[in-house]
Structure 1
Amino acid sequence: MTIRNWVKFFFNALLIGGFVTAVAGLIVRWEFFSDLLAAGETWQFIGALLWMVFLGFTMSVVAQMGFFAYLTVHQFGVNIFKSLTLWNWVQLLIIAVVLFDLIFFRFRLTTEDTGRTLLYLTLLASLVIVSSITAYLKAKWTKKHTLISALFFMIVITTLEWLPALMVRSGNIDTWVTILLFPLLAVNAYQILALPKYNTMSDVDKAKLDARREARRKEKTRAASK
């Protein structure tokens, strides 16, 4: 990918993260934001909203780091197992382990708190459904064998990026766990679906650059021969 296209890719992902976090924050913490509006504290409302946007920017950077780390891990996996089919089976096993870990260890669900259990099951369903749709679109738009890899990235890598919030034990953590999931999902879905487009644009830019270099070389050759 060329520098120009990488910059576009980076800032588009940044904007998606900021926008989704702001919307998720308004919905999940509507009581807090509505109290500010009701009290006429407009600047405090704007400041709190901008803080949510900045948080989204941070989550976007985390997601982009995770994406490029995954590209390296994926290549290592294919090289180690010497077969894409075998690597896909390994990825499916890791997906199952990660989902098991989320349900039985990270979410810390109890039968006493039905509301919290329903919240976390909804978050799990959101993770799986968005990941499945993204993986389906990836396979449809590119190649069928990318289905498992895209599903692995969306579930496993997103969970790893989400893990620091899940590990916190104090404060109003359920609110932040909810808010932080959605920018990670949105940015990761954008990255894995948009990357081929930016790679194609980079190939076109490189071809144009090579053509211009060749034209300049020919021009210099003609000028030297006169």
Structure 2
Amino acid sequence: MTLRKWFHFFWTTLLIGMIVSTGIGLILQFSDKEFSVMGLSAVGFNLINMILGGATISVLSQMGFFAYLIVRFIAMGLIRSKWVWDVLQVAIVVIVVFDLVYLRKTNSESSDSLLGYVILPIIVLLISLAVSYWKVKLTNKNAFIPTLFFMSAVTVLEAVPALKLDNPASSLFMLAPLFVCNAWQILTLHKILENKKS
């Protein structure tokens, strides 16, 4: 990867994060009836915050992506068996999906039903499976498990600050740009590296 390619990769991911978070933020802002009484100046002020928040989330997404690439490189050097590494990644995905239900339910002070805590992990898993399938179509079948791991486990790890709040609006505001930025990065990596079968 050259500096020019990384520069393009960085700025496109940043722009995507800002656009998605601004769109989600505006939808959340206008769907909240209490917030609409603050007037136009609040909308403008919050619009700037949404853009800056999206930029921050996209940078977090990029840090997670490059951290995953480094960890994967080191793990493949230590483990040396692709089968063992794939099984380990699938096990971590299962643990993350389970913990999204269990830990959020046990740490919550509300007495909501378990169904409310199952919806988010299902959505995370479905989006991760869809992006993994798309990555396989773009490259090869060996990309399925690493993409599934990155899109589920790494995305959830990046979204921990919002998930700790146990607030659907904050979770949506952080997870939507994270998913889009992470999907963009993982789906375009082979184009940037110019190696479709890697």
TM-score normalised by length of structure 2: 0.88
Counterpart check, 1:30 vs 2:30: yes
Identity within the alignment, %: 35
Call closer, same or farther: CA 1:44–1:111 in 2, change over 3 Å.
Answer: closer
> How big is the alpha-carbon RMSD for the aligned residues of Structure 1 and Structure 2?
2.4
| SS of match in other structure, 1:14 | helix
Which residue pairs with 1:205 in the alignment? none
Contact 2:64 2:158 in 1 (8 A): yes
Which residue pairs with 2:112 in the alignment? 113
Q: Deviations over 1:17-72 (max 9, x none)?
A: 11111111122332448854x66x32321221221111011000001000000001
Which residue pairs with 1:155 in the alignment? 152
Paired letter, 2:172? T
In the alignment of these two chains, the number of paired residues is 194
Paired letter, 2:157? L
Separation in 2, partners of 1:142, 1:124: 26
Which residue pairs with 2:181 in the alignment? 187
Counterpart check, 1:127 vs 2:124: yes
Q: Deviations over 1:92-129 (max 9, x none)?
A: 11111111111100354689425x953x4333232111
TM-score normalised by length of structure 1: 0.77
State which structure, 1 or 2, has the greater radius of gyration over its C-alpha atoms: 1
1:37-48 → structure 2 map (5 Å cutoff): 41-48=39-46
| SS of match in other structure, 1:29 | helix
Separation in 2, partners of 1:122, 1:101: 13
Which residue pairs with 2:172 in the alignment? 178
Separation in 1, partners of 2:177, 2:105: 19
Which residue pairs with 2:54 in the alignment? 56
Paired letter, 2:61? A
Separation in 1, partners of 2:56, 2:84: 35
Separation in 2, partners of 1:12, 1:167: 29
Paired letter, 2:194? T
Separation in 2, partners of 1:104, 1:134: 25
Counterpart check, 1:84 vs 2:82: yes
Which residue pairs with 1:199 in the alignment? 193
Paired letter, 2:74? F
Shift of 1:200: 1.9
Contact 2:97 2:125 in 1 (8 A): no
Paired letter, 1:167? K
Contact 2:29 2:35 in 1 (8 A): no
Contact 1:18 1:55 in 2 (8 A): yes
Contact 1:33 1:45 in 2 (8 A): no
Q: Which runs of 5+ in 2 are unaligned?
A: none
Separation in 2, partners of 1:2, 1:34: 49
